[in-house]
Amino acid sequence: MPSISLTHTLRTASHFSRRTTKTYLNLSRSFSSTLRRNEINKVYSSPESAISGMQSNSTLLCGGFGLSGVPDTLIKQVQATPSITGLTAVSNNAGVVGGGLGLLLESKQVKKMIASYVGENKVLERMYLTGELELELTPQGTLAERCRAGGAGIPAFFTPAAFGTVVQTGELALRHNSDGSVAQYSTPRDVKVFAGKSYVMEEAIRGDYAFIKAYKADRLGNVQFRFSAQNFNGAMARNATTTIVEAEHIVDVGEIEPNAIHVPGIYVDRVVQSTADKGIEKIVNAKPESESAAESASLDSKRERIVRRAAKEFKNGMYANLGIGMPMLAPSYVGADVEVQLQSENGILGLGPYPQPGAEDADLINAGKETVTLLPGASCFGSEESFGMIRAGKINLTILGAMQVSARGDLANWMLPGKVKGFGGAMDLVSNPAKTKVVVTMEHTDKKGRPKILKQCEFPLTGRACVSRIITDLCVFDVDFTNGLTLVELADGVTADEVKSKTDAPFKVADDVKPML
C-alpha cells in the first residue's frame, strides 16, 4: 500500500509539472500576442469621468509653481462638482484669486492648505485669519521631499531646513478663531544630531488623489513634462492612491522616447486631455540696451551701490541661487570674464535672461514666477531634485534679501507682522552654510530709520547662524557665527561712527577697512 501511494504521488507530481510548463508557455504566447490580450488604456473621455468617484475629505496633491504646470482643467472640474468638499489641498502655492487652487478656496471646497508660499492671495489670507481655513506652511524643499518620500514608502526623514525656527518649535498658527485669535498651533518637530549638526524630523505626506499637468502622456500613463513646468508634478504623481494626469498632448505609445519619460505609467491611473489655457503670473521682458542703460542710471543710488557690490561675490565657475529683488539684479553687473551658472529652485540650472517681447513661455519661469529663458547647456528637473542640490551644498553661493540679521548671522526674511506670505525656499537655501555661502543684501535701516542689523532678530527666523556676509548701502560686514560682526568695507563718504549709530549690534572694525567699490 505505501508503494502504490508513493507511485501515485510521483505520477501526479509529474503530471502537474508538465501541465504547469505547458500552461506557462501558453500564457507566454498569449501575453505576447497583441490580438489576444486586452489593451491597457488609461485615457478618459472627459474631466468629469476622470474625477468620477472622487471623495470628499480627501487629501489632494496639486502640481504647479505659480501658474506654471498647474492642472487647471481638473481643478475647474472639481469646482463644477460642489458635492466634493472638505479637501486638504497640498501645493507649493494656493493659486491666485480667480485661478488655480484659488478657485477651490473661493468655492469653499478646501478646508486645509499645506503650502510653501501663498503670496498675494488675499482670499486665502482672509479665510485663514478669520478661521475659515487651516493653513500649514512648510518650507518649499521640505514640502517637495515630504511628497517625494510619501511616494517612495518612506514615512519620515530628517532635514537641516528650519532648525531653530517656528516650524521646528511648533509656534506656527495653523488655525484662527473668527476674531483672529489663534485656535491651534503646529506640532513641534523632533530633533536629532548627526555628525554634530541638528536636523528636524518631518513626516511624509501621502495623497489620496494627485492632479498633475503634463506636456505629453500616452494611454499607458507614461508622462513627459516641459521645462520648469515639471516643478512639483513629478514627485506628486508618484505619491497618490489615484493619480490623474491632464496632458496637453495625448500621444501614441512609443511616441515618447523611453529616456524622455519623466514619470513611468506605473504611477498613473487616469489620463485626460487638458483644455485650460496656460497662464503666466509675471511677464517680464528683456529691455533694449538703451533702455537698460537708462534704467541703470536711474536706479536708486543706495540700491545700485548694494547691487554693484553684490556682483563682486560671483567667482568664475560658481553655481549660485539668487533671491527676488536686488539679488536678481546683480548678474547684470558681472564682468564677461566670469561665468556663473544660476539655479532656480523651481527646477532650472542654467537660468538665462528675460525673454524678448513675444517670446515668453508659460513653461519657463523663475522662482519669482517671472518669464525667463535658458542658456545653452541648461537643464530642467523636479523641485525635489532642486532642493536636494541645495541641501547637499552643491550651490556655492546664495544672495538673499532680509528684513533683519542678527550679530551672530541669524536671518529673518519671510514674515512681517500681519502679513501671510510663506517661507518659499529660503529656509532650505540657508540650511547648509558650511558649503553654501549666504550673502544678504539690504538697506542698512528700514523706512523709519530703524536698524535692521540687531543683537537679536525680532521677526520670526528663517535660519540660525547662517549669514556669512551682509552688504548694505553703508558698508560690508563679515559675520562669524561665534564672535559676531566685523566691519570690512565702507561706502564712499561713510564713516565707522555713522555705521555704529545706525547698527543695533556691536561690531569690530577690521585693521584694513577697504572701500566698497
- Where in the sequence numbering do the catalytic residues fall? 345
Nearest to 176 by CA among 234, 239, 115, 128: 128
3-state DSSP percent of the chain in helix, strand and coil, to 5: 25, 30, 45
Pair 378, 352: CB distance under 8 Å: yes
Pair 430, 398: CB distance under 8 Å: yes
What is the spatial distance between Cα 477 and Cα 471, in angstroms, rounded to a whole number? 7
What is the spatial distance between Cα 336 and Cα 170, in angstroms, rounded to a whole number? 47
Grid cell, residue 249, equals: 498632448
| Bridge partners, residue 380, by sequence | 348
DSSP 232-261: THHHHHTT-SEEEEEEEEEE-TTSS-GGG-
What is the spatial distance between Cα 246 and Cα 91, in angstroms, rounded to a whole number? 16
Residue where the block lists cell 505659480: 66
What is the spatial distance between Cα 266 and Cα 278, in angstroms, rounded to a whole number? 27
Q: What angle do CA 368, 134, 241 make, to 5 degrees?
A: 80
- Give the N- to C-terminal CA distance of the chain in Å, as an integer: 105
What is the spatial distance between Cα 452 and Cα 404, in angstroms, rounded to a whole number? 5
Grid cell, residue 455, equals: 543683537
DSSP 176-194: E-TTS-EEEEPPPPPEEEE
Nearest to 432 by CA among 383, 405, 395, 476: 395
What is the spatial distance between Cα 384 and Cα 150, in angstroms, rounded to a whole number? 12
Helix axes 140-151, 383-391, angle to 10 degrees: 120
Total residue count of the chain as it appears in this document:
517
